[in-house]
Amino acid sequence: MTRTFVVIWSSQLLSIITSSVTGFVLGVWVFQQTGSATHFVTITLCAILPEVLFSPLAGSLADRWDRRKLMMGADLGAALATGALALLLATGTPEVWHIYVVTAVGAVFGTAQMAAYHSMMPLLVSKEQLGRANGMMQVADAVRIASPLLAGTLLVGVGLTGVVVIDLTAFLLSRVVLHLVPLPRAVTRPGEGKPAEPVLRDLGFGLSFLRSRPGLLWLVALLAAYNLFFGMAGVLVQPLILSFGSAAVLGALMAAGGAGVFAGGLVMSAWGGPKQRVRGMLAFMFAGGLLLAAHSLAPSPWLIAVVAPAFLFTLPFVQGTGITVIQLKTPPGELGRVLSAVRTVTQAATVLTYLAAGPLADRVFEPMLEPGGALAGSVGAAIGTGDGRGIAFIFLLTGAGLLVLAPLAYLQPRLRRVEAELPDIEEPSDAAISRS
């Protein structure tokens, strides 16, 4: 692993930690001010929708502009948004809509930053190290999952204003690191000298690239379907735990889940992932389905303490391996647009999940698994009835969905053979690495 990549990754991870904590704290503040779960969910949507809508443009910018400057500009823009929030907190109580705007603006700049960051990464490490690097990138997911525990500590210690100031400091530090770290032009401008597509055509380039390579298109469809099942469980795991445990139990179990992702990321960063990437990815997906379904077995914190970290341990091997395959098969000068198309599709699936999860739980499955409900005598005999059992049934269904999805995906020959049918891109990354 090159020193340049490790330095950039470390500074970006620090920024992700502070931003995750700020996002969680803002959601808590909004809920405390309004008592509305709808307002709380709206914060999450303000953080995700800009990525879905803005990713195509962000990817185009990452391939057209200097990627270092784009990352630095995005960090500065996010810092200005966070600074505006700090000013609002210092001068008076902000309105809820202020939080929506700041969250959405920060997400737009974050989308641009991640487009440049992820498209630059394959030129900072060798092809053999790319799986390990993606394992390190997955550590950020552990941070996001475990952020409630750290957020609670900081909120008590320094308050909301202090949390925002810490986040602002991390943004500025990240920008300084990007300014100082040596990056050759082959890394920041790999497509330099090639004629640019018209902007409107450029926005659809990523999808066109994937459509012309059916194996990669099937892979992206698989990741989107995985996000549907995983996202449904991810957004409902906190209500599931709170149906039988306290807020303290929730914090401890969220931290345990974060530890599972962290451990998975560490193992992948040391191992590099399976040699037969698609088959290995599907094997971890199948194992994850079993563990996801196991969440439904009993309303027990001890059960969740085992199966949640184990399920989340598989996450880096599914998502990180899938991204590694796409990076290996895409020219560096086109990677920004292609990865942005991937994010648009996969995050759109996440948004659909977030919109559907609450109504499915509250209006469909919870009533069906109340004592005397439509499923009380059948499904309820196996997983129980009462508060949270409808959500538990959703976990059973999503786990079963992954158990079906993995073998069905394996039966698709273009996906199964994508690594052999599409050659790895050979670009001057070795020269870039040697100068890093």
In whole angstroms, what is the distance from residue 30 CA to residue 36 CA?
Answer: 8
Eight-class DSSP state of 92? S
Residue extents of the structural domains in the chain: 3-434
Q: In this structure, what token pair is assigned to residue 364?
A: 């469909």
The tens-digit pLDDT sequence of the chain (436 residues) is: 578 888 998 888 888 888 878 887 787 777 677 766 567 667 778 888 888 889 999 998 898 889 999 999 998 898 888 888 888 878 877 888 888 898 899 899 989 999 999 888 888 888 888 888 888 888 776 666 666 666 666 766 777 778 888 888 888 888 889 888 988 888 888 766 565 666 667 778 899 999 999 999 999 999 999 999 998 888 888 889 988 988 778 878 888 888 898 899 889 988 988 999 999 999 999 999 999 999 999 999 999 999 999 999 999 999 999 999 999 999 988 999 999 999 999 989 988 888 888 888 888 999 999 999 999 999 999 999 998 999 999 999 999 999 999 999 999 999 999 999 999 887 544 444 444 4
Q: SS3 of 120, please? A: helix
Q: Distances from the Cα of 411 to the Cαs of 131, 239, 274, 358, 408, in angstroms?
A: 24, 36, 19, 33, 5
Rounded to whole angstroms, how far apart are CA atoms 225 and 415?
14
Q: Is 93 exposed, middle or buried (0-12, 13-18, 19+ CB in 10 A)?
A: exposed
Q: What is the pLDDT of residue 196?
A: 61
- What's the pLDDT at 434? 45
* First CA to last CA distance, the chain: 11
> Do residues 8 and 140 lie in contact, with contact meaning Cβ atoms separated by under 8 Å?
no
Gap between the Cα atoms of 96 and 43, Å rounded: 10
**Token digits for 75?**
């960090």
- Identity at 110, one-letter amino acid code: G
Nearest CA to 399 out of 163, 226, 263, 270 is that of 226
Distance CA(314)–CA(261), nearest Å, equals 8
Contact predicate 203/58, CB 8 Å:
no
CATH for 3-434 is: 1.20.1250.20
Query: How far apart are alpha carbons 384 and 399 in whole angstroms?
Result: 18
Q: How far is 70 from 112, CA to CA, in rounded Å?
A: 7
**98, two tokens:** 């202020």
Q: Could you give the residue ranges of the DSSP H alpha helices within 243-300?
A: 247-271, 277-294
Res 200: pLDDT: 67
Phi, then psi, of 244 in degrees rounded to 5: -135, 0
> SS3 for 212?
coil
For residue 363, the model assigns a pLDDT of 87
Which two structure tokens, joined as six digits, stand for 381?
A: 């005999």
